[in-house]
Amino acid sequence: MTPFALHGQVRDTGIAAWQRIITPEVKRITSELELLKSLVRADAEAYVVVVTGGVDVDHNEASISSAARLLRLNDDDVKRVFNLNQVTPVARLSSPEEADRLRQELQAFQLESITVPESDLRLGEEGKRIRALILSDHSLTGVTTQKDARVTASYEDIRLIVQGRLFLQRVEAEENKRGGRTKLSDRRELSSDDCVLDIYSRTTEVNWRIVASNFDFSCLGARKRATAFENFGLLVELLSERARAPYDDAYIRSRQLLNLVWPLEQRITKERGRRSRAGKSGVATITITDNEGQFTRYSRLRHYLTCNELTTR
């Protein structure tokens, strides 16, 4: 098994690191509200309820406790999320009527909100994967992964920069049949994480996406360092210096609630005829769990709200 690449290095991180990041959040996805939202398929039309303003979390404990019970969170989660000083998605529902009912309940707890149709997030349009940047005095050009095609935007046209992390867990369970019984013969769990940056400009409706492990940091010039992790931070600094656009790095801090709105995606495949370490042929079940779809939805929502001037309270 080839380990995943992490910040330009090859590492088999094991399941422990992934569990520290993901498991506490996954365990929260058990509420009645989540059971309701789970009926809405990921590819179905849905409506996201977004809190745009509300109570003073430091001085109105009663309203915070009531809102926490409604959202099936604890008080500290609500305080942390609503202290981000920005609008916050709290639910994904199947109809405008359901969204309106939840908004009325939130308003009773002094929480103002709006409904955003997911169709407005243009999720069917894939962002542009950028493998390198060319920086000039007045603009930046992204070299895409598609036959070196290029996209250009002036620094003044940069509308929003969104930072996050991409997590992925891969579990392989190999089974062999013996005497009519199926026996687990081998199990491997690998995880990876990577820095990600989405850039939005006024010249396009979709994002440019930079993933640290698949990016050439030569644009940093003399600033360039030895590791992708260091270079990613320097790239963020450089872009912030040149593009006076809003910068959003709240994704990681918001994930407890985002897991309720957009659960982690899981893909399961089976490979037959694979050879186990003992040399016997069997079936391997491969389960991949990742958050890229969740981050894309968060990023597109931030862009939608920025375009509609609804990003801060």
Task: Tell me how many domains the chain contains.
Answer: 2
Same domain, 292 and 192: yes
Is 311 in contact with 171 (CB distance < 8 Å)?
A: no
The whole-number pLDDT of residue 277 equals 53
Q: Which residues fall within 8 angstroms of residue 105, CB to CB, at 6 or more apart?
A: 70
Q: Count other C-beta atoms under 10 Å from residue 276's C-beta.
A: 14
Same domain, 162 and 116: no
The whole-number pLDDT of residue 95 equals 95
- pLDDT per residue over 239-252, tens digit each? 999 998 999 999 99
CATH code for the domain in which residue 91 is found:
3.30.1390.10
Task: Copy the structure tokens of residue 261.
Answer: 């709105």
Range of the domain at 85: 31-121
Task: Copy the structure tokens of residue 286.
Answer: 């491969």
Is 116 in contact with 50 (CB distance < 8 Å)?
A: yes
Q: If residue 18 lies in a helix (H) or strand (E), which one and from where to where?
A: helix 14-26
Same domain, 207 and 291: yes
Radius of gyration of the chain (CA): 22
The whole-number pLDDT of residue 84 equals 53
- Residue from 205, 221, 202 nearest 154 by CA: 202
β-pair partners for 198? 162, 209
Same domain, 172 and 117: no
In a domain, 284, yes or no: yes
Same domain, 113 and 172: no
Is 264 in contact with 169 (CB distance < 8 Å)?
A: no
β-pair partners for 286? 172, 269
Same domain, 94 and 204: no
Distance of CA 160 to the CA centre of its chain: 16
The whole-number pLDDT of residue 278 equals 52
Mark residue 86 as left, alpha or beta (left: phi above 0; alpha: psi -120 to 50; beta: remaining). beta
Same domain, 173 and 288: yes
Same domain, 170 and 288: yes
Distance in angstroms (rounded) separating the CA atoms of residues 72 and 79: 13
Same domain, 165 and 224: yes
The whole-number pLDDT of residue 68 equals 80
The whole-number pLDDT of residue 8 equals 36
In a domain, 144, yes or no: no
Residue with tokens 């360092």: 225
Residues of the chain with pLDDT under 70: 1-43, 54-60, 80-86, 177-180, 182, 273-281, 311-313
